[in-house]
Structure 1
Amino acid sequence: MPHKILLVAEDSSVCSSLQPWLTQCGYTVVLATEGGDQGILLAVTESPDLILIDTDLPVISGWQTINILKASTVTRHIPVMALVLPTTAPDWNRVLDSGCDACELKPIDIVSILTKVKTLLNHPSSATASYGQGPSVGANLLLFPKPPAIDQISVSTDHQALGNRGASLVKVQESTVVYIDDSAIDSQTMAAVIQQAGYDYHNISNPIEAIPLLLEIKPKLIFLDLVMPYTNGYEVCTQIRRASNLKNIPVVIVTNNSGIIDRVRATIVGASGFLSKPIKEKRVLRILQKHLAIDSPSPASFQSRKVELV
């Protein structure tokens, strides 16, 4: 019987990156895309052999989820790998204190993560940590990468790391990001994150003027607030998709309400994704990396290495 892996991740890019490779390697994948509470439930009902958790989850965070899994007598024996993007020293300490059995730094390296998956599944007892004590003494140190230079972590740092893997990257300084929103406070928050990451930033506060200004600015990525005066994000997104020079630009809807109805309607008008308010740095950086900085490896490029990992 194939090993069963539970993948707990809200980010669709994480799921779409990992699920095909895990399946090709012969694993059965169970997805939990609605947050840590769903992940905990499936960990109990599905009894997976391994759990992969994106630490950036809504409601119950990935760290809280790991703590709950490792504190429960029902699930503490299941190896857990955290998918994390540490940006501060406390973030990295949280990795070690969480009780996870392995971690993979984001952006994800497919070869690295599948190697760790194989190690955890073949030697679960030697890798599994005691709750709250971090990696066990006998754990394979390859399961915990060397801590990054926290004071140097940025989008450009990720570029350098990925360059060693042969990834094709877009130069940060050539990318312009636009946020269409009438809120000055939200615009300032977004500007701070985007400019610190090394991208040009423009705010369009009047949605009526959005299309002509977008044609002039020629952005690489558009954040679009859903609730604005005179019109709404759905209508603006529809107009963007009708303009031949703008129709292929990623548009991310920013909203306080990301329920299923809003997601379906956003998909219908051509939105590329969602960003939930309040605006958080990690979530914005993840979207920047997804749409501007990283080209994922193709299945064909990985095929030749798949056999040695299973």
Structure 2
Amino acid sequence: MTTSADSASLKIMVIDDSSTIRRSAEIFLGQAGYQVVLADDGFDALAKMNDHKPALIFCDILMPRLDGYQTCALIKKSAKFHSTPVIMLSSKDGLFDRARGAMVGSDAYLTKPFTKDSLLKTVREYTAQALAK
């Protein structure tokens, strides 16, 4: 079980072009004690990653300019961030989307709209390794 003292040191990045999704994730994660970094698309996220060094990234699939698959692939090709867990976010829960996400290196897949419990469960699952370091 993660304590808020542990979670306060972890930054979680949420990349989504929907302000509603970003705000929901920010509220849920903030209440649990995590630091939250928001990005409204892949370019915005890539620009912020070096400064914030997130422990976990939630990435929407359908975004303008740079979609979630492209963003995830670029993160996973990065020498600095290749081991950072990337969780794909999508309103579509299809096998094709899950498979394509896995092909670009995503670690998991969360369907929108997500609940506070499903979001925090995913965070705990994928940040346990970061806290163990």
Q: CA deviation at 1:230?
A: 1.3
Normalised by the length of structure 1, the TM-score is 0.40
> More relative contact order in 1 or in 2 (CA 8 Å, sep 6+)?
2
**Is 1:267–2:102 an aligned residue pair?**
yes
Q: Does 1:292 align with 2:127?
A: yes
SS state at 2:38 partner: strand
Aligned-partner Cα distance in 1 for 2:36–2:43: 19
Q: Secondary structure, in 3 states, of the residue corresponding to 1:230?
A: coil
> Which SS does the other structure have where 1:174 is aligned?
coil
* Equivalent residue number for residue 180 of structure 1: 15
What's the offset of the Cα at 1:294? 6.8
Q: Secondary structure at the match of 1:252?
A: strand
1:260-297 deviation per Cα after TM superposition (whole angstroms, max 9, x unaligned) = 111111111000001111121010011111012479xx
Distance in 2, Cα, partners of 1:156 & 1:248: 23
User: What letter matches 1:156 in structure 2?
Assistant: T
Q: Quote the Cα distance in structure 2 between the aligned partners of 1:264 and 1:294.
A: 24
2:59 aligned to 224, 229, 236, which one?
Answer: 224
1:167-200 deviation line (CA, Å, top 9, x unaligned): xxx9211100000111111111000110001100
| Runs of 4 or more above 4 Å deviation | none
- State the percentage of identical aligned residues: 26
AA in 1 matched with 2:26: A
Equivalent of 1:191 in 23, 26, 43: 26
The match for 1:205 is 40
CA distance in 2, matches of 1:174, 1:189: 20
Asked if residue 156 in structure 1 is aligned to residue 32 in structure 2, the reply is no
Residue 237 of structure 1 corresponds to: 72
Residue 254 (structure 1) aligned to one of 89, 97, 106: 89
CA distance in 2, matches of 1:239, 1:293: 24
* Aligned 8 A contact 1:171 1:293 in 2: no
Moved more, 177-186 or 285-294: 285-294
1:193–1:281: 8 Å Cα contact kept in structure 2?
yes
| Higher-Rg member (1/2) | 1
Report if the CA contact (8 A) 1:172-1:293 is conserved: no
Q: Name the Cα RMSD after superposition.
A: 1.9
Gaps of 5+ in 2: none
Instruction: Determine the C-alpha separation between the residues in 2 that align with 1:277 and 1:211.
Output: 22
Post-superposition shift, 1:223?
0.3
Indicate conservation of the 8 Å contact 1:251/1:273, yes or no: yes
Amino acid at match of 2:54: P
Cα shift readout 1:69-111 (whole Å, capped 9, x = no counterpart): xxxxxxxxxxxxxxxxxxxxxxxxxxxxxxxxxxxxxx7xxxx
- In structure 1, list runs of 5 or more residues that go unmatched: 1-106, 108-154, 158-169, 296-310
What amino acid sits opposite 2:53 in the alignment?
Answer: K
C-alpha contact 2:72 2:86 (8 A) present in aligned 1:
yes
Q: Which amino acid letter does the alignment assign opposite residue 214 of structure 1?
A: M
Structure 1 residue 242 displacement after superposition: 1.1
| Deviations, residues 32-65 of structure 1 (Å, cap 9, x unaligned) | xxxxxxxxxxxxxxxxxxxxxxxxxxxxxxxxxx
TM-score (normalizing by structure 2)? 0.90
